[in-house]
């Protein structure tokens, strides 16, 4: 349009100029065209008006529109364009109030667009641009800016700080050059958006196979006989524990075992059932226990202390304000003296359960004596208390055993409720057995050592609540 207009005005302007006597030769650059004309215009504004060159509010004219028109003048019109900057800044690094900005100005390339926008500081951080910043600008152009997320990856005792363009934690870990093992743990999880993870921690996990021999307890069957006094016992058929070899997958995190899962088991030796004859003829000469309150019930635990289950039981008893009696093995007191001391320190009674859990009717008088006195000694040294009561392993005793125990100054302490928790029949079975039989003065036999006593701990928590609700007081055995 300018070319045809300028062509016509060139001749007309020349004629008018000749007619008026004043004409000026100028060169005009506009809209991609370059034209030379002669004109009688006095300034650039007048010149562009005569040429019908319309200016937008952001267009730039050089020299300015007020400049005088002189011979040989070059006038350049630079058209403004409107471009849009779209910012993806998931971590808010640029601290912008919006994510999209429109820029209208005379612009040569996309770098000029970015520089003229509020997102100009993207040039100072880790960011990517599409198209590239050197690309020329057309009206309606769009510049997409993506700002990387700063993140710290902690792994193998070191920290790696980087700026990541990944969408999630998994991508950032990859950007950091960290190779993950199939069992390694990532916190937060790999699918977490990267903007929500200022720091990523990787725990190295190893898989180790561990083979453990597991002792299988033998069954015990009791048969009544008139050949023995009531309550006396004699082994008719020796029982024997079996042996099972278990294979485990052990998960290690930074060299520390975090978990283990059993993956296989092989029976090495079958357990053999034990048959015990129990006398029915008359009761043994056992002194009666001291009496307690009208609603007292006595929880007792054999075979401990154990580093896991005994502290758990002590915590439950403390929370309920209850006391119990722990019949401890001397060997376990020697192994875990701090737990034995805690039993006494928290107001519970501690009794003698022999050193290594033998059947007292099957050992010599000297062995019985050493089993009991060694246990008395280690408990006294460890807790400051000398036990008064003995619980014979398996409840195994006869008149001879009773006399030997009495000579050593100990009193037999038995029970009247046995849910056989050592068989691990299930928490419900243990609780139901006790609650169906409990009465004032009941002595309840439970176990806290030697094997897995998780069911016993769970049952104790429920029994404490149920017995308390029924109005019972949980006490330590009187005289022990």
Q: Is 266 a catalytic residue?
A: no
Helix axes 309-320, 337-345, angle to 10 degrees: 10
Instruction: Name the residue ranges covered by the structural domains of the chain.
Output: 2-78, 81-147, 149-203, 206-279, 296-475
Quick one: tokens of 138? 């057309």
* Parallel/antiparallel/unpaired status of strands 33-39 and 24-30: antiparallel
**Digit-coded pLDDT (tens) for 356-373:** 999 999 999 999 999 999
Q: Which of 437, 462, 459 is closest to 448 using CA atoms? A: 459
Q: Find the mean pLDDT for residues 56-66.
A: 86
Question: Average pLDDT over the chain, rounded to whole?
Answer: 87
Helices (H) and strands (E) in the chain, counts: 11, 25
3-class SS at 316?
A: helix
**Largest alpha-carbon pair distance within the chain?**
156
| Catalytic position from the list 89, 348, 447, 448 | 447
Give the global pTM.
0.44
Q: So what's the architecture of 296-475 in CATH?
A: Alpha-Beta Barrel (3.20)
Quick one: tokens of 198? 């200022």
Euclidean distance between CA atoms 203 and 303, whole angstroms: 38
**Digit-coded pLDDT (tens) for 309-342:** 999 999 999 999 999 999 999 999 999 999 999 9
2-78 to CATH, choices 3.10.20, 1.20.58, 3.30.2010, 2.60.40: 3.10.20
Q: How many alpha carbons lie under 13 Å from residue 162 in its C-beta half-sphere?
A: 18
**Band (79; pLDDT cuts 50, 70, 90):** confident
Q: Extract long-range pairs of 189-198: CB within 8 Å, 24+ residues apart.
A: 192/168, 193/90, 193/167, 193/168, 193/169, 194/90, 194/91, 194/149, 194/151, 194/164, 194/166, 194/167, 194/168, 194/169, 195/90, 195/91, 195/149, 197/151, 197/169, 197/172, 198/151, 198/152
3-class SS at 293?
A: coil
Q: Which of 241, 295, 302 is closest to 442 using CA atoms? A: 295
Quick one: tokens of 25? 């030769």
b/e burial code for range 52-74 (CB count within 10 A of at least 16 → b): ebebeeeeebeeebeeebeeebe
Quick one: tokens of 117? 């926008």
* Rg of the chain (C-alpha set): 47
| Catalytic position from the list 302, 303, 421, 448 | 302
**Digit-coded pLDDT (tens) for 13-44:** 433 343 444 689 998 888 778 888 898 898 98
Q: What number of other Cβ atoms are within 10 A of residue 30's Cβ?
A: 20
Task: Give, as one character, the DSSP assignment of residue 176.
Answer: T
- One fold for 2-78 and 206-279: no
Residue 383 parent element (H or E): helix 365-383
pLDDT at 282: 55
Quick one: tokens of 320? 């309920």
Euclidean distance between CA atoms 468 and 433, whole angstroms: 17
Q: What number of other Cβ atoms are within 10 A of residue 13's Cβ?
A: 22
**Digit-coded pLDDT (tens) for 413-439:** 999 999 999 999 999 999 999 999 999
Q: Is 108 a catalytic residue?
A: no
Q: Is the pLDDT of residue 54 over 90?
A: no
Euclidean distance between CA atoms 232 and 414, whole angstroms: 12
pLDDT at 293: 59
Topology (CATH) of 206-279: Resuscitation-promoting factor rpfb fold (2.20.230)
Q: What number of other Cβ atoms are within 10 A of residue 407's Cβ?
A: 10
**Digit-coded pLDDT (tens) for 169-211:** 999 899 889 998 888 889 999 999 998 888 999 988 888 888 8
Quick one: tokens of 156? 């193998």
Strands (E), 53-121: 60-62, 73-78, 81-88, 100-105
- For residue 125, give every residue at least 6 positions away whose Cβ sits within 8 Å of its Cβ, in sequence order, or none: 93, 94, 147, 148, 163
């Amino acid at each position: 349009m300018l070319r045809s207009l300028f062509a016509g005005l060139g001749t007309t302007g020349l004629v008018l100029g000749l007619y008026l006597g004043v004409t000026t030769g100028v060169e005009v650059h506009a809209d991609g065209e370059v034209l030379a004309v002669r004109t009688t215009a006095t300034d650039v504004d007048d010149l562009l008006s005569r040429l019908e060159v319309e200016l937008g509010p952001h267009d730039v004219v050089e020299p300015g529109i007020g400049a005088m028109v002189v011979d040989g003048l070059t006038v350049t019109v630079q058209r403004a364009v409107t471009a849009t900057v779209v910012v993806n800044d998931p971590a808010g690094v640029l601290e912008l109030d919006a994510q999209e900005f429109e820029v209208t100005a005379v612009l040569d390339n996309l770098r000029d667009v970015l520089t003229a926008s509020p997102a100009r500081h993207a040039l100072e951080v880790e960011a990517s641009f599409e198209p590239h910043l050197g690309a020329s600008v057309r009206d309606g152009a769009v510049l997409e800016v993506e700002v990387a997320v700063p993140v710290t990856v902690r792994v193998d005792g070191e920290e790696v700080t980087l700026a990541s363009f990944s969408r999630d934690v998994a991508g950032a870990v990859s950007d950091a050059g960290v190779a993950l093992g199939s069992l390694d743990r990532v916190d937060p999880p790999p699918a977490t958006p990267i903007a929500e993870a200022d720091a990523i921690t990787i725990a190295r996990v190893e898989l180790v196979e561990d083979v453990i021999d597991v002792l299988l307890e033998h069954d015990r069957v009791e048969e009544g006989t008139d050949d023995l006094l009531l309550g006396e016992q004699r082994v008719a058929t020796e029982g024997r524990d079996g042996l099972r070899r278990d294979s485990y997958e052990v998960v290690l995190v930074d060299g520390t075992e975090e978990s283990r899962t059993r993956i296989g088991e092989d029976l090495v030796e079958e357990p053999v059932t034990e048959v015990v004859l129990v006398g029915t003829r008359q009761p043994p000469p056992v002194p009666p226990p001291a009496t307690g309150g009208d609603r007292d019930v006595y929880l007792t635990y054999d075979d401990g202390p154990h580093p896991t289950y005994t502290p758990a039981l002590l915590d439950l008893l403390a929370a309920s304000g209850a006391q119990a009696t722990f019949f401890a093995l001397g060997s376990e007191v020697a192994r875990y003296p701090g737990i034995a001391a805690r039993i006494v320190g928290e107001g519970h009674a501690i009794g003698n359960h022999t050193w290594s859990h033998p059947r007292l009717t099957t050992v010599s008088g000297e062995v019985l004596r050493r089993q009991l006195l060694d246990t008395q000694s280690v408990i006294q040294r460890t807790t400051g208390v000398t036990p008064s009561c003995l619980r014979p392993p398996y409840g195994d005793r006869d008149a001879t055993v009773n006399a030997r125990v009495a000579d050593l100054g100990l009193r037999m302490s038995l029970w009247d409720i046995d849910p056989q928790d050592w068989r691990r029949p299930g928490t419900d079975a243990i609780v139901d057995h006790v609650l169906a039989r409990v009465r004032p003065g009941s002595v309840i036999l439970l176990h806290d050592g030697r094997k897995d006593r998780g069911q016993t701990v769970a049952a104790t928590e429920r029994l404490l609540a149920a017995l308390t609700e029924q109005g019972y007081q949980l006490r330590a055995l009187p005289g022990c």
